[in-house]
Amino acid sequence: MNKLYEEAKKVLNNSYSQYSNFKVAAAIRLKNGKIITGVNVENASYGLSNCAERTALFTAYSQGVRKADIAELLITTEQEDFVSPCGACRQVINELMEKDALVHMTNKHGEIKTVNVHDLLPFAFSEDDL
């Protein structure tokens, strides 16, 4: 877990958050040990911004990773308290990660809260609803 946290902290300053000044970084650990990171990227047209969690997951998928390959996701910020994924990220996490995969939320002190994907969005909309 420490390695995942360290990798997320390394990229935190890559966040493009000039409007909110709210930096977020995410790191995904694959079952083979590889780590993929992402940061939030804002846009003057706020709706076009992308969260760190989605950036990391979309990067992983663009490299051929699929949900069975992902072991865990960690999110970190510079905040005193824990920050959980937004609703859009919860929906994407629910679709692109397995329900029992772990999601770790950390604060600037490195303290960690862990839940599984299902606990983030227990009544998620899925392909079964289509």
**Catalytic center residues:** 53
Tokens at 93, concatenated: 């996490």
| CB-based burial, 77-93: b 16+ in 10 Å, e otherwise | bbeeeebebeeebbbbb
- Give, in order, the Cα–Cα distances in Å from 82 to each of 14, 38, 63, 73, 126: 20, 18, 29, 14, 27
Beta bridge partners of 103: 73, 115
Query: DSSP of 48-71, one letter per residue?
Result: G-B-HHHHHHHHHHHTT--GGGEE
